[in-house]
Amino acid sequence: MTDKGERAPRVSIGLAVFNGEKYLEAAIESILAQTFEDFELIISDNASTDRTGEICKKYAARDSRIRYSRNETNIGGANNENLTFRLSRGEYFRWAAHDDICAPRLLERCVEVLDSHPEVVLCHSAVVEIDENGTPQRTQMRSEGSAGSPFHRFRRLTTRVHKCEATYGLMRSAVLRKTRLQLNYTDSDRVLLCELALHGPFYQIAEPLFFKRFHSGNRYKDWRGRMAWFLPELQNTGKITFPNWLQLFDYFATVGRVSMPWSQKALCYTWMGGPWMVVNGQRLVKDLLVGAYMFAQPRERRQDKYKKVDQWI
């Protein structure tokens, strides 16, 4: 129940957006077309400068399930996504992107799974990758997060063989609330998935019900430059960042936070301190080398790196 005595919806969908006018309407239409209708759509506009606000207000006036808010300034992409969850009221929660499409039965099928499998913390479907025009490119089925033990789920999710599309799955809000959500560094969604999986398994529906759009505005251009999406102030400060080291420290902190048998914790710590560091050692060293190089550059050059390299919307 809400403070006003109104019944909370079963599902909350958080759509964080910044200058998303090109694909936004199609994304909203696909959400409103869901066969499962007991949901709220929370749209948080991160101080867009295009027609995003106009589009959102139009749909909010048309459908009472939509709640639209606008940040006065750009608070960073992950902070804006986290904000949509903090504003949510539903038993289940799902993040949505302004450039993706949902099949009509996505929510219905995911709710069915979570209702019938109380041990599952996140349900997602097979993913169809589409291009700028919506043309299907390939279909992805991923099993990461579905293993029986917390350690095996953690180990698989820490690898970069998957694209973290499970973050667009339907999650139990009570479990997501136990996490620190997304932190402000590149690839922090991978650590969030790991923390969720330490609480319970994921479930993937074989039917392709989620269409992930890849286009020029959302492709990685530089691991460090991407940090400006999380921290817009980097474009002014030029601060040196170490995203791979931040992720490593966050993995260790995440394992320490979650309540589970010490045998499972020990396996996770051993994995991170051994095999994971061997596989990712080159990235950790590169962080240090790039940091040293940037330290030798004037601040204007560092600012320019963040301004030019990553222009994600």
Angle ∠(271,274,278) on CA atoms, nearest 5 = 115
Please tell me the predicted confidence (pLDDT) of residue 296. Answer: 94
DSSP string, 50-116: SSHHHHHHHHHHH-TTEEEEE-SS---HHHHHHHHHHT---SEEEEE-TT-EE-TTHHHHHHHHHHH
Pick the residue with more confidence: 114 or 311?
Answer: 114
> Domain residue spans in the chain?
11-213, 227-309
Q: What is the pLDDT of residues 222-272, one digit of tens each?
A: 777 889 999 999 989 999 999 999 999 999 999 999 999 999 999 999 999
Residue 1: is its pLDDT beyond 70?
no
Q: Of 171-175, 260-264, 307-311, give the lowest mean pLDDT range.
A: 307-311
Instruction: Say which residue, 152 or 2, is predicted with more confidence.
Output: 152
pLDDT per residue over 200-235, tens digit each?
999 999 999 999 999 877 776 677 788 999 999 998
Class of domain 11-213: alpha beta
Three-class SS of residue 263? helix
pLDDT in tens, 30-51: 999 999 999 999 999 999 999 9
- Average pLDDT in the 49-56 region? 97
Contact of 31 with 96, CB cutoff 8 Å: yes
High-pLDDT (> 90) share of the chain, %: 88
The separation between CA 134 and the C-alpha centre of its own chain, rounded to angstroms, equals 21
Segment 120-137 mean pLDDT = 96
Say yes or no to pLDDT of 164 above 60: yes
What is the average pLDDT score of the chain?
94
Confidence (pLDDT) at 308 = 66
- What would the mean pLDDT of 270-297 be, rounded to a whole number? 95
